[in-house]
Amino acid sequence: MKFSYKARTREGKIQRGEIEASSKKAALDILEKYGLYTTFLREERKKGFLRKEIPLGRGVSQKDLVIFTRQFGTMLKSAIPPVEALRAQVSQTENPYFREKILRMAEAVEQGSALSQAFSLYPKIFDPFYVSMIKSGEATGKVADSLNYLADHLEREYNLYQKIRGAMIYPAFVVVVFIAAFFLVTFFIVPKLTEILKAFTGKLPLTTRLMISLSDFVRGGGWILILSFFGLLFFLPQIFKRREASRGFYDQFLLKLPIVGDFFKKVYITRFSENLSVLISAGLPITQAIRITRDIVDNSVYKNILREAEERVARGEKISEVLSAYPEQIPSFVCQMIATGEETGRLEETLLDIVNFYRQEIERTTENLTTIIEPVLILILGIGIAVLAVSVFIPLFKIGLGGMGGM
């Protein structure tokens, strides 16, 4: 049975969430065990189809995962038992969805499951890479070290994502403002001016006539087509990404785009190199490390390359030999670095050198994209304003001079 609860922590902080238990008393006992003083508990009845809640906003963010991993690793490093450490995380985690999962993991560990097994219960939160790192830590007796290493890795991934996202905020903001200004002018300003301009005889300038025609089109229902077009631009890539039949085409197209394609290649190479380096350092066999890395890389082109690498490495070939067959996706610099690492037996170190090099490249590219996009957007806005000014003020100026009748 599932119960909704409201409880206070030892510090007096209020928490809400859901918990599964065999009875109401069992639910109270579980919450009390994890340091939560229940103030409200109610069984959740099964809802009909029309009454089911849409699970909006339920999930675990990268930031939540980084904080949890860092705190959990620090507690294990301090010799706190895993169950106690997980219980502490239950009371500290803000996200109610994540808190419920941690609570269930703590129950699984308390019942005798290995820590890696408890984490593997939620693959949408803890991917194969995460679980494999914990499993390798269990094998070597260094789970805390593995978690701290994971936290460092997740922080680097999070920072990379934030930089990419930050570079896109300004262009997105300008585009939204431009669209809003366009509809404002089309629906409110142009119609008023049209009434004034049509009251006079004479031929209007071409830009003015085009602006009036565009306003009439948009107000007559064309705005639906415009919004549908922008909606299609946004949702079409998502549809291509989700459909297995079109995913390969989408991924190849993305890598071939000018400027953007090279940027994403650097991102994928960085992720592939860092994940493989971390897994090899953790003591995983090379073929298993490649397989896990393949599952993590979010591009079918690189997935296929790594799938072939796994098969050929299992037959005794070198990774560098496989990657060198794909010069468009894997630069020769990367292949040479990996070949050097294989020859010297320091593959994980050379992979990290690749990661450091491309992280700097990504940072420079992100800064350059922002630097390039800003003046381009300003230029586009300037042209739009100039066209609007010419379309509106020249006819009004001529009207003021009384010249419209003689045109």
Residues in the chain with pLDDT values less than 50: 47-57, 403-407
First to last CA, the chain: 82
pLDDT of residue 27: 72
pLDDT of residue 386: 80
pLDDT of residue 404: 44
37-43 and 14-20 beta bridge pairing: unpaired
pLDDT of residue 309: 93
Express the helix, strand and coil content of the chain in percent, nearest 5 each. 75, 5, 20
Could you tell me the sign of the dihedral formed by the alpha carbons of 351, 356, 361, 365, in that order? positive
Distances 38 to 27, 29, 64, 90, 107 between C-alpha atoms, Å: 10, 10, 24, 14, 18
DSSP 182: H
How far is the C-alpha of 35 from the C-alpha of 89, rounded, in Å? 11
Q: Residue 16 in 3-state DSSP?
A: strand
Q: What are 178's two structure tokens?
A: 């431009």
User: What is the number of residues in the chain?
Assistant: 407
How far is the C-alpha of 87 from the C-alpha of 119, rounded, in Å? 14
pLDDT of residue 47: 47
Give the residues across from 7 on adjacent strands: 15, 38
Edge-first strand order for the sheet with 14-20 is 14-20, 2-8, 37-43
Distances 100 to 17, 20, 72, 281, 359 between C-alpha atoms, Å: 7, 9, 16, 32, 35
Q: What are 224's two structure tokens?
A: 């639906």
Mean of pLDDT over the chain: 80
Q: What is the dihedral of CA 235, 238, 239, 242, to 10 degrees?
A: -160
Encoded amino acid at 148, one letter:
N
